[in-house]
Structure formats: structure tokens, C-alpha cells
Copies of this chain bind each other. A is one copy, B any other.
Amino acid sequence: MLGFLSNGLPIYPMPDSVRVFAPATVANLVCGFDVLGLAVERPGDEVRMTRRAAPGVRVTRITGDDGRLPLAAERNTVSASVQMLLRHLGRDADFGVDIELHKQMPIGSGLGSSAASTVAGLWAINELLGRPLTPLELLPFAMQGEELACGTGHADNVAPALLGGVVLIRSYAPLEVVRLPAPPLHCAIVYPHVEVATRDARQLIRRTVPLHDAVTQWGNVAGLVSGLFLNDIGLIGRSMQDVLVEPVRAMLIPDFYRLRELAMHAGAVGFGISGSGPSVFAFAPDEATAAAITEQLQRHLAGLGVGSEGYVSAVNQQGPRVID
């Protein structure tokens, strides 16, 4: 920080170039379909953004996407959301940037791949502009990026990616997010190499549900939130049950219930689908247990002939970070 403006706002340095990491996220956190999300330390995506003389937003390079993401600025969610932000601030006519996106996580994995990219881009442009917006004020732009990427502007990936920790989206209209205490747990994450498009995964879900199951679900949502505030690991674990959405989405994941058994037997606090899948995740009391769970799940998938990627990560506490 360089000091304060006359209105009390701090003055931050405005670099010409910045590199930002934004975390992967576990949305639809078990019982908290559409309302609870969690940020993890890894994997995540990186954006390098460099100011240039001419106005306009360009994507100059994308790595790690196997050529699947568009370079065209209006179709790429990173550049499109950066453009929206510049327009909102009235800077689109005088401010130009080049963007490099370095995907360090799989696309279509249920780990908030597009959210991580979008959030990294928004965090980077906000840095280059001297932080005119708070992380919470970046959220609507990130949601518009999600809408472009997934067809729906859900917040349960972008909100935890921006804010870190566990985030509750209490309401969409009006938008209200609440940062919940992040548990002192480690995450075992496994992405089986089967593809599930978010749009398709959503269409599987029933439009109406039995009230009895909905009551069970919000009892568990309330239990999970209470467990986070009370730092009660047992209560968190017992509340990690989804009676409504998981039974449908589990069909898309190879041997889902056996994976759960293996994880719980290896010491998991709880287990569930990440986002709309196919990634699965488990909470574990420590890093060694998380590593053992990841390894067992990957080995079981390999036995089924399904390749996978595995991650072991703490809960991300801070959201994105500037790397240099």
C-alpha cells in the first residue's frame, strides 16, 4: 500500500503486469446444492495479465487446455468478464490488456475450472487498476462469466474462488453471500477421466422433490453450517449427506458408492460429489489421511480401467493470490 487518497481509500501500486492464481472449488457442497461451496489450495488456474498501450482486451495465449478454449475475446470467459468490468468502470476506452491463461486443472471436471479462470482474470485486472473493487464487488462479473461458460450464472463456484473458505449463497435475488468458517480439514480430490457437462448433469435432476427429503436435506444443511461454526468435525461429517441430488448424479460416476466406502474406511470425515461431477472429494482430518484416500480411490478407478487425477489439498482460506 502506498498511502491513502483524500477520501480515505488506500492507494495501491498499479503494476504493468501481474500473475494471479485462483483456486479450484467444490460447489454443491454435499447437502448444500446450489448454496454452499468450498475453495481448495490446489489445483487452480493462473492468469498473467499485462497492460498495453492500446485499449481492448486480448487473449494472447492459453496453455493446458488441449486447444479446447476459445482465444476470441468475446467468447473466452476470462476476457469477456474482464471487458465487462472495464466497461462498468468506464475504462474500456482507455485501458488495454493482454491475457495469458495457464490452465492447471482439468476442464469439465466439476472442480470449478471456468470459475478459477474467470476469478483469476478479474483479480488480475483489479490489481492492474489499483483495486477499485472489493472481492465481493467482483462477484457479479464472475457470475456473468459463469453464465457464459455454463449457461447458468450460479455463484457456488465463483464465490468461494473469490472469497476463499466455505461460502454460503443465501439468496440469488438479491444476491447475498456469507463467508462461513473454513474447517481445519484436508481434502482428497479425485477426477475420474469421464466427462460430465454441467448442463447435462443439471438436466438429470428432478424438478420436484418429496417434502420429506427436502426436510432431511435442510436439517443436514443446518447441521453442516453449525458444525463449521462449532468446529465440530463429527457434526460436519454426519451432516455430509445429500438425499436429493447425489443419488441421481452418482450414476454418472464409475462405482461411486464403492468409492465412498473406500474413502470412509480410509478415515474420511465425509464424502461427496464435487460440483456436478465427475470429481469426488472427501474431507480428511489430516494431510496423510487425505493422501491415503486419494491414492486408494485412484487405484480402485485404475482397476476399473478408468484413468484419474488426484489432488491432496488444504482448504483455501484467502481466495486468489498474486504470485508476482
Contacts and interface: CB of A to CB of B under 8 A. Distances in A.
A323 interface: no
A209 B211 contact: yes
A35 interface: yes
Interface stretch (A49-57, A72-80, A168-176): A168-176
A242 to B, nearest CB: 11
B34 A222 contact: no
A222 B171 contact: no
B168 A218 contact: no
Given A210-B207, A210-B208, A223 B176 contact: yes
A219 interface: yes
A167 to B, nearest CB: 11
A298 interface: no
A37 to B, nearest CB: 12
7 cross-chain pairs, A with B, having the tightest CB-CB distances, nearest first: A170-B223, A229-B229, A218-B218, A214-B214, A35-B219, A218-B221, A225-B225
Interface string A212-227: 1011111111110110
A220 B171 contact: yes
A226 B223 contact: no
A214 B223 contact: no
A109 interface: no
A238 interface: yes
14 contacts: A32-B218, A35-B219, A35-B222, A168-B226, A170-B219, A170-B239, A171-B219, A178-B222, A209-B209, A211-B244, A217-B218, A221-B222, A225-B226, A229-B229
A235 interface: yes
B223 A221 contact: no
A226 B180 CA distance: 8
Contact of A178 (B36, B215, B235): B235
Interface in A34-74: 34-36
Interface string A124-152: 00000000000000000000000000000
A88 interface: no
Given A32-B218, A171-B238, A206-B211, 9 more contacts: A31-B218, A171-B219, A178-B222, A178-B235, A180-B226, A207-B211, A207-B212, A208-B208, A208-B210
A206 to B, nearest CB: 6
A288 interface: no
Contacts of A230: 178
